[in-house]
């Protein structure tokens, strides 16, 4: 599967879907006239946040992922709970996991000042901040398509059901991605975002103590020293050996049975499957990973965007605008 011909075919499919599934509603130059300073301001703020805390880059990428997988890329993950709505922040996949909300608040404030008003959506800020995080940590840039508007509601139940889990087996992961219009190829490429960041002990504990046949014994032993069988749930371990650098070390780790999460290692099981071939391909071809990752991020970023008169542009990313 991982041949040059097949990858050209894959990219052709992506661009066909872009032309037929609503990508035309979003454009890379959406803010060029209304606020030429918007993207530069976001980049400046992201760079500053990452200089202060390199881990923040992974957190901003994660926010965009988790936003898009719940009713589309609409900024709903940023909404605080209200007396009449329980939002996504405290859903199982997000609670004590997603972070960076304060940074998004700071970016939104800076953008509103630069634009002399409220013209850039929170959903677009998430998409641009994810791209800028990738670039700041060594990855290749890609053109973010813009013009999303913000949701006026959020759903804890939808977040609990729609976001992929780190404990899922490959068939469940593939089914989850397909339910969002994303192919198995997208799953493997987008999982490469785990080139950045850390996971909590409670998320990978079962793997390092119970999955003896699918994990390198020395790797498991090292992790057990950091993550005891009980307690220290919040102890952090990196998702690959270079958690603040965008590279293909994540895929190389999978080849050595050193995937931190169960869902990671499911992508490479040594059985010659299509996902095995892709993991091997990206491990051997960093430039292809960067190119395909950008294309897949663009594809994911078009999951059910609110455009035109749908939704709103929130003044404060945490709350719906007041009438």
66 assigned to active site: yes
| Residue 232, CA distances (Å) to 59, 122, 222, 312 in order | 21, 34, 15, 41
Confidence band for 13, pLDDT divided at 50, 70 and 90: very low
Q: What is the gyration radius of the CA atoms in the chain, in angstroms? A: 19
Residue 237 C-beta-side C-alpha neighbours within 13 Å = 23
What is the C-alpha to C-alpha distance for residues 236 and 234, in angstroms, rounded to an integer?
Answer: 6
pLDDT digits over 243-261, tens only? 999 999 999 999 999 999 9
DSSP string, 259-309: -SSHHHHTT--SS--HHHHHHHHHHH-HHHHHHHHHHHHHHHTTSS-B-TT
Pure H helices in 53-118: 55-68, 101-114
pLDDT at 185: 97
| Residue 202, CA distances (Å) to 56, 86, 287, 310 in order | 20, 24, 34, 39
- Longest Cα–Cα distance of the chain, Å, equals 59
pLDDT at 323: 73
Rounded average pLDDT over 258-269: 98
Residues 223 and 212 sit within 8 Å (Cβ to Cβ): no
Residues 94 and 163 sit within 8 Å (Cβ to Cβ): yes
Pick the catalytic residue from 64, 66, 194, 262. 66
For the segment(s) 189-287, the CATH number from 1.10.420.10, 3.30.420.40, 3.90.600.10, 1.10.3720.10 is: 1.10.420.10
Instruction: Report the SS3 class of residue 82.
Output: strand
Residues 63 and 76 sit within 8 Å (Cβ to Cβ): no
Which residues touch 51 (CB under 8 Å, ≥6 apart)? none
pLDDT at 110: 98
286-300 vs 184-191: helix crossing angle, rounded to 10? 110
Rounded average pLDDT over 279-303: 96
pLDDT digits over 179-218, tens only? 999 999 999 999 999 999 999 999 999 999 999 999 999 9
Chain centre to alpha carbon of residue 18: 19
pLDDT digits over 216-232, tens only? 999 999 999 999 999 99
pLDDT digits over 124-182, tens only? 999 999 999 999 999 999 999 999 999 999 999 999 999 999 999 999 999 999 999 99
Strand partners, 82: 85
Instruction: Report the SS3 class of residue 238.
Output: strand
């Amino acid at each position: 599967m991982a041949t040059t011909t097949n990858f050209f075919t894959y990219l052709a499919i992506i661009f066909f879907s872009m032309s037929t599934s609503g990508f035309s509603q979003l454009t890379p130059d959406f803010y060029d006239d209304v606020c030429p300073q918007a993207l530069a301001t976001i980049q400046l703020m992201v760079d500053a946040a990452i200089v202060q805390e390199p881990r923040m880059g992974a957190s901003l990428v994660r926010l965009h992922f988790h936003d898009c997988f719940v009713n589309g890329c609409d900024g709903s993950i940023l909404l605080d709970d209200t007396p009449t709505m329980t939002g996504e922040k405290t859903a199982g996949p997000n609670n004590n996991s997603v972070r960076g909300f304060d940074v998004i608040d700071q970016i939104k404030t800076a953008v509103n000042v630069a634009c002399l008003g409220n013209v850039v959506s929170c959903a677009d800020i998430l998409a641009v901040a994810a791209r800028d995080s990738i670039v700041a940590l060594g990855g290749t840039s890609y053109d973010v398509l813009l013009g999303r508007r913000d949701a006026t509601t959020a759903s804890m139940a939808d977040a609990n059901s729609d976001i992929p889990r780190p404990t899922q087996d490959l068939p469940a992961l593939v089914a989850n991605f397909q339910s969002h219009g994303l192919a198995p190829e997208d799953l493997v490429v987008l999982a490469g975002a785990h080139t950045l960041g850390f996971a909590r002990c409670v998320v990978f504990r079962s793997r390092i103590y119970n999955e003896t046949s699918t994990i390198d014994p020395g790797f498991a032993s090292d992790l057990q020293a950091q993550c005891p069988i009980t307690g220290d749930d919040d102890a952090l371990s990196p998702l690959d050996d270079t958690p603040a650098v965008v590279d293909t070390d994540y895929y190389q780790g999978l080849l050595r049975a050193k995937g931190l999460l169960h869902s990671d290692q499911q992508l490479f099981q040594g059985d010659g499957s299509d996902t095995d071939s892709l993991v091997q391909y990206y491990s051997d071809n960093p430039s292809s990973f960067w190119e395909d990752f950008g294309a897949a991020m663009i594809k994911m970023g078009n999951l059910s965007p609110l455009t035109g008169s749908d939704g709103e542009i929130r003044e404060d990313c945490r709350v719906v605008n007041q009438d």
